[in-house]
Amino acid sequence: MNSWREQGNLRLRLVLFIGLFLFPFLFIYYGCKGEEKGVTEITFWGMGAEGEKIQALLPEFYRRHPEIKVRVQMVPWTAAQEKLISAFVADNTPDLCQLGNTWVPQFVLLDALEPLEGYISKSAVVKQSNYFKGIWNTNEVGGKIYGIPWYIDTRLMYYRKDIFKKAGYELPPKTWDELLDLSRKIVKLQNDPNKYAIYLPTNEWAPFIIFGIQNGSDLLKNNWTYGNFSGDKFLEAFDFLMKFHKERLSPLGVSQVTNVYQAFEEGYFSIYISGPWNIPDMKKKMNDSTGEKWGTAPLPGKNGYPGASLAGGASLVMFKQSKKKEAAWKFIEFLSEKGTQLAFFGETNNLPAVVSAWDEPGFKKDPFIPAFYEQFQNVVATPKIPEWEQIVSAKLQQYAEYAARGKMTAKEAMQNLDREVNIILEKRRRLLGK
Amino acid sequence: MKKAAYLFLTPALTAIFVFFFIPVIAAFLISFTDFDIYAIGNYSRFQFTGLENYRKLFENDLFWKALVNTFYFVVASGPLSIAISLGAALLLNSKLVRFKGIFRLVYFMPVVTTLVAVSIVWRFIYHPEFGLLNYGLSFLGVEKIDWLGDPNWAMPSIILLSIWKNFGYNMIIFIAGLQNIPEELYEAAQIEGANAFQRFTKITLPMLAPTTIFITIITMIGYFQLFAEPYIMTQGGPLDSTLSIVLYMYQEGFRWWNMGYSSAIAFVLFIIILTGTLLQMWYQRRRTA
Amino acid sequence: MGKKTLLYGFLIISGFLTLAPFIWMVSASFMLDGHASVFPPRFLPDEFTFDQYKTLFSRLDVSRNLLNSFFLSVVVTLVSLTFNSMAGFAFAKYRFAGKDAIFKMLLSSMVIPAQVTMLPLFLMLKEFGFLNTYMAIIIPGMANVFGIFLIRQFVMAIPDSLIESARIDGANDFQIYYKIIIPLAAPVLVTLAIFTFMGTWNDFLWPLIVLNDSEMYTLPVALANLMGEHTKDPELMMAGSVITILPVMVIFLALQKYYIKGIMMGSVKE
């Protein structure tokens, strides 16, 4: 009995001791994100493929700046906005990061970003005149510049040339009516209940907003303090898009398409409204990089061609909390050089923000790029408010799904949407009112 | 000697007080403010709004939808999983069965596994094209079902997963309860000519009543906190058919940072769980009295 | 005879159905990319490969997340076991002012769901600068009412005479705690250790909220994050699930007696 107790005693004492030793160790463990001497380590958050591909640019940067080390963290695009905000809330923002340029205003409002005029005025590389004006402006809030455009993008139409031809369209549609007519013809032609014409998933809000803008809707009214989605203009556009779901020209569920590129290749749909990041995967999956079977085209319009699309892209920003702003700025300058911009295009297919890069012959060679150039002639920004992401990615998508599945009429859906948007914007109204 | 008691108590009680009780009180207070992302950037940007959050909550269709979904989940999978647990326990308690340990182990296996991981596994099992479930059902002549993509099937799919995951736990408790029933009771009943069914309803069930009530309470409390399954498998969709209260609270609080509103949701959850627990305890007391 | 066959048949079939998801998970994790997305579904890999595991450990670096999960689960278990056992002992063997009131308050707090505390706790940890550190996971797990309750029940059954005689031999309170109570309570401590370890390992919502660097993630959070990017790679996700489940499975199989006893103890009403 006694010896048994001694044994147990010994074992447990051992465990306790290990516990006591581990406890201080844990403070050391989380405290020691050590750095090499003489080297400044900056943290950069890159979204999706950009986060991965930017690695290829680093050797050149290190060659020029051996005193700086860049720690790149990849953030999936789907969770990027969410993650950045939580990082801000948790006081855990990186030194610099790419920010969707429509997100800049909301981080400014949160007082999270460092104004950049001081850096720009001293810089030999970054100058306002190097950039598309509209894109530069997305980074300006209250007269101050908070971001440097990194790359630009916009959404246009990916389409199957072969199928369009069979349906009698030598050229892509230029108007809404043509788009609808063509879609009907494609579905008729395929004559397969498992094939559709266009992919308009309700969990991608951009097309809904684009068509609304094309129809002249202002989306939000009274200085962006009330929703205007049930207004005539947006409602008409929304109703138009719903036709594609009602007539089964577009697949309903999101779960059916697990791989867009494969679905596009199989002819599951022939039209997809999306951005330049798809080009490499499309080339691979279609086994066609010359534009035989598929192509890109500007969006059809309601009033004139090309129809408007969204001014997208990413800017480079520095966070206020960063203690290594000088080093971070050097990295921004490096990324803004024409050569780096072209190299980055080669890696990711992200379109350069620096205008002079667009004249490079190597850049123009790609058969899928000119359509983007054309589309850029007509791009518009979304409202610059922090609530925008919640409005579109939670609420608009939610009600689009209700309408697409026939649970609500387009009008009911948009009225409900406005009601919820007005609740979301309540705080904004109060803050502005003060 | 008393001093020693307080010394022993201090670490645990301090931790519980500071990191549990204070947050509970704080949550209650926050639920009466408009604390949100604007306020995090600048603490001066929030104010007391009284019952405003609760009013907005009760006027919000999505909240009611989440509430109804959660009740649907609790009411459907609670009794079902308890019944299956009881059935499994009865079988494994039968004198006819040998290798009880192995069967018990097998049925119990899902309980210890990581919910996130099994949700991912089941997401693929539910795949309409390539999933095992549709394939298995096709031998029974069942047409393909888009389990997680169809608003009518999404919640049943989550219910099936959670029953599979949890029934082993209650089974163990039931086995313990069954083993506590004195053998003489059954012998006496047999002598008096009671058949198996009568023995079950007149002896087993009443003797198990305390166990059953305990199981009902813990199962219910657990099920009201449904989160990871819809988070992983459906994100609350399609058509919000799998949006649970906790998922809604998470989205409002930690995705959109409407923290006052989110706290109000948490308190509604608390009130529901409290009411359920009190009801069941009252029922139990009435029975035994 | 027929009845017995039927019974066994039923038990074996339902056993197989219970295990089927695991079997498929393990099997698919050894398949090549795309080989689990075929019709009809494969139950066994046509070509056996470790590729998915290689990807996980090289490109996606889940070893760091594995380490986080282990480290956190061990630390939370040790700390909470220490705190809970001290408090459980005090509640079982001492008389002091307010004992019943405090204990009742603790017990009744068990109906408050943890979700209620999450927001303020989050803000509190933010103020301390603990967000996105291991402390964010350890702090809320330092002590819990269920553990105190379980230990108290067990320690109450230890005869007072043992303590009295030790006291006569000159043992002080702390010596009694770790020389007598701890060894005698070993079974319940082991049980509680398994519970806490698995609870911490499997926890999802809280780490999801407080950790936001991928290198700080615990395995379940890393897995959920991976799911966002790799929805179309079931084979990879299955390998990730195997890695997440395997450690808890092994611990359970090794110590199942204690675990199951713990469930039964927990279900004993006062």
Q: pLDDT tens across C9-23, in order?
A: 999 999 999 999 999
A positions 214-273 inside 8 Å of C (CB):
258-259
Distance CA C121, CA A90 (A): 12
Burial pattern A254-292, b for ≥16 Cβ within 10 A else e, equals bbbbbbbbebbbeebbbbbbbbbbbbbbbbebbebeeee
Nearest alpha carbon to residue A311 among A262, A382, A360: A382
Across the interface, of C28, C223, C256, the residue whose CB is closest to B117 is: C223
Chain C within 8 Å of A15 (Cβ-Cβ)? Answer: yes
User: How far is A255 from chain B, CA to nearest CA, in Å?
Assistant: 6
Q: What is the pLDDT of residues C128-155, one digit of tens each?
A: 889 889 999 999 999 999 999 999 999 9
Q: What does the alpha-carbon distance between residue C118 and residue C113 come to, in Å, rounded to a whole number?
A: 10
- Residues of chain A neighbouring B149 (CB-CB closer than 8 A): 253-256
Cβ of residue C5 closer than 8 Å to a chain A Cβ:
no
Q: How far is CA A24 from the centre of its chain?
A: 43
Mean pLDDT of A270-280: 90
Does B114 touch chain C if contact means CB atoms closer than 8 Å? yes
- Number of A:C CB contacts under 8 A? 69
Distance CA A299, CA B219 (A): 54
- B100 falls in which pLDDT band (50, 70, 90)? confident
Distance from the Cα of C79 to chain B's closest Cα (Å) equals: 10
Angle between helices B61-93 and B151-179 (to 10 degrees): 40
Q: Please list the residues that pair with A72 across neighbouring strands.
A: A44
Q: Compute the Cα dihedral for A371, A345, A288, A158 and give only its sign.
A: negative
Q: In chain A, what residues touch B253 (CB-CB under 8 Å)?
A: none
Q: Identify whether A386 is preceded by a cis peptide bond (ω within 30 of 0).
A: no
- Interface touch B256/A394, C-beta < 8 Å: yes
Say whether pLDDT at A5 is over 50: no
Interface of C with B in 156-215 (CB under 8 A): 172-174, 177, 198, 201-202, 204-205, 209
Least Cα separation, residue B165 to chain C (angstroms): 9
The rounded distance, in Å, linking the Cα atoms of B140 and C9 is 19
Whether the CB of A13 is below 8 Å from some CB of chain C: the reply is yes
Residue C78 contacts A, CB cutoff 8 Å: yes
What is the DSSP annotation of B219-260? HHHHHHT--HHHHHHTTT-STTTT--HHHHHHIIIIIS--HH
Asked if C210 has any chain A CB less than 8 Å from its own CB, the reply is yes
pLDDT band at A4 (very low <50, low <70, confident <90, very high): very low
Instruction: For B240-261, write each residue's pLDDT tens digit.
Output: 999 999 999 999 998 888 999 9
Which one is the CATH code of B54-288: 1.10.3720.10, 3.40.50.620, 3.40.5.50, 1.20.1730.10? 1.10.3720.10
Partners of A90 on chain B (C-beta within 8 Å) are none
- The position carrying tokens 């004993």 is C268
For residue A254, report the phi and psi dihedrals to the nearest 5 degrees.
-85, -30
Q: Could you give the angle at the alpha carbon of A53 between the alpha carbons of A153 and A70, nearest 5°?
A: 110
Residue A32 Cα distances to A27, A29, C34, C151, angstroms: 9, 6, 41, 36
**Distant-in-sequence, close-in-space partners of B262: CB < 8 Å, separation ≥ 6:** B249, B250, B252, B253, B254, C119
CA distance A258 to chain C (A): 6
Confidence (pLDDT) at A307: 93
> Is-contact A350 A125, C-beta < 8 A?
no
Helix (H, G, I), strand (E, B) or coil at A352: strand
> Beta strand pairing status for A148-153 and A68-75?
unpaired
Average pLDDT, stretch A308-330? Answer: 92
Q: How far apart are CA B129 and CA B4, in angstroms?
A: 65
Write out chain A residues lying below 8 Å of B36, CB-based. 427
Query: Does the distance separating the beta carbons of C119 and B30 come in below 8 Å?
Result: yes
Distance of CA C71 to the CA centre of its chain: 13
Report which secondary-structure segment, H or E, holds C246.
Answer: helix C234-266
Whole-angstrom distance, CA of residue C36 vs CA of residue C235:
6
Chain B interface disruption, residue of A86, A255, A256, A427, most B CBs within 10 A: A255
Provide the 10 A C-beta neighbour count for residue A123.
15
Q: How confident is the model at residue A32 (pLDDT cuts 50, 70, 90)?
A: very low
- pLDDT above 70 as % of chain B: 99
Beta sheet of A294-297, edge-to-edge order: A198-199, A271-274, A156-160, A294-297
**Residues of chain A with C-beta less than 8 angstroms from the C-beta of C78:** 15, 18-19, 22
Q: Do C94 and B116 touch (CB under 8 A)?
A: no
Cβ contacts of C145 on chain B, cutoff 8 Å: 16
Write phi, then psi, for A351 (nearest 5 degrees): -75, 135
What pLDDT score was predicted for residue C38? Answer: 81
Q: Where in chain C is the domain with CATH 1.10.3720.10?
A: 55-266
C131, C182, C184: residue with CB nearest A91: C131
The residues that bridge with A227 in the sheet, in sequence order, are A220
Q: Which of B1, B8, B24 minimises the CB distance to C116?
A: B24
Contact in structure between A274 and A110 (CB atoms under 8 Å): no
β partners of residue A296: A158
A positions 45-74 inside 8 Å of C (CB): 73-74
Nearest to A252 by CA among A196, A191, A189: A196
DSSP for residue A319:
B
Is a pLDDT exceeding 70 seen at residue B277?
yes
Tokens 């009214």 map to which residue?
A: A221
Mean pLDDT within A285-309: 91
Give the residue extent of every domain in chain B. Answer: 54-288
Record the tokens describing residue A386, joined without a space: 């922090």
The CATH class for the domain spanning C55-266 reads mainly alpha
Residue at token pair 């920003």: A317
Chain C residues closer than 8 Å to B221 by CB: 111, 113
Query: With contacts defined as CB-CB under 8 Å, which chain B residues touch C113?
Result: 221, 224-225, 266, 269-270, 273
Measured CA to CA, the distance from residue C64 to residue C67 in angstroms comes to 5
CB atoms B103 and C11 under 8 Å: yes
Q: Could you give the percent of chain A with pLDDT greater than 70?
A: 90
Please give the domain boundaries of chain A with CATH numbers for all domains. 40-153+311-380 (3.40.190.10), 156-307+387-433 (3.40.190.10)
Mean pLDDT of B107-136: 92
| C-beta neighbour count of A91 within 10 angstroms | 12
Distance from CA of B237 to the nearest CA of A (A): 9
Mean pLDDT across A114-121: 94
Yes or no, beta carbons of C212 and A90 under 8 Å apart: yes
> In this complex, which chains have at least 3 CB pairs below 8 Å with chain B?
A, C
Q: Which of B8, B96, B115 sits opposite C204 (nearest CB)?
A: B115
Rg of chain C over Cα atoms, rounded to whole angstroms, equals 23
Q: Are A73 and A94 in contact (CB under 8 A)?
A: yes
Helix axes B151-179, B205-224, angle to 10 degrees: 140
Reported confidence tier of residue B99, pLDDT bands at 50, 70, 90: confident
Cβ contacts of C229 on chain A, cutoff 8 Å? 76, 78
Which chain B residues are Cβ-neighbours of C109 within 8 angstroms?
A: 16, 20-21, 24
Please indicate if any CB of chain C lies within 8 Å of the CB of B239: no
Phi-psi region of A32 (alpha: psi -120 to 50; beta: other; left: phi over 0): beta
Which single residue is written with the structure tokens 């209620």?
C116
Identify which of B97, B118, B176 has the shortest CB distance to residue C267: B176
A408 to chain B, any CB pair closer than 8 A? The answer is no
Q: Give the whole-angstrom CA distance, residue C115 versus residue C131.
A: 17
With CB atoms and an 8 Å threshold, state whether C232 touches A259. yes
Is the CB of B109 less than 8 angstroms away from the CB of C19? Answer: yes
The three state secondary structure string of B274-289 is: HHHHHHHHHHHHHHHC
Query: Token pair for residue B230?
Result: 């819809």
3-class SS of residue C109: helix
Distance, CA of C198 to chain centre? 2
| A-chain residues near C79 (CB < 8 A) | 19, 23
Give the distance between the most distant pair of CA atoms in chain A: 95
At residue B95, the 3 state secondary structure works out as coil
C-alpha separations of A406 from A198, A391, A394, A413 in Å: 18, 21, 19, 10
- Cβ(A383)–Cβ(A224) under 8 Å? yes
Predicted confidence at residue B221, as pLDDT, reads 87
Cα–Cα distance between B145 and B154 in angstroms, integer?
10
Give Cα separations from A100 to A138, A310, A316, B61, C73 (angstroms): 10, 12, 9, 31, 37
Note the maximum CA span of chain C. Answer: 76
DSSP lists the bridge partners of residue A220 as A227
Residues in C touching B89 (Cβ below 8 Å): none
Residues C19-45, mean pLDDT to the nearest whole number: 90
- pLDDT tens digits for range A217-239: 999 999 899 999 999 999 999 99
Interchain CB contact of B80 with C (< 8 Å):
no
Closest by CA to C192, choosing from C145, C123, C244, is: C145
Q: What DSSP state is assigned to residue B142?
A: P
Contacts of A among chains (3+ CB pairs under 8 A): B, C
pLDDT tens-digit series, residues C88-120: 999 999 999 889 999 999 998 988 999 999 999
* Gap between the Cα atoms of A175 and A218, Å rounded: 21
CA–CA distance, C19 with C39 (Å, rounded to integer): 21
Phi then psi dihedrals of residue A113, to 5 deg = -105, 155
Is pLDDT of A26 > 60? no
Output the CA torsion A363→A367→A371→A373 (10° steps). 10
Helix axes B100-112 and B151-179, enclosed angle (nearest 10)? 130
| Cβ atoms of A201 and A324 closer than 8 Å | no
CB contact under 8 A, C142 and B169: no
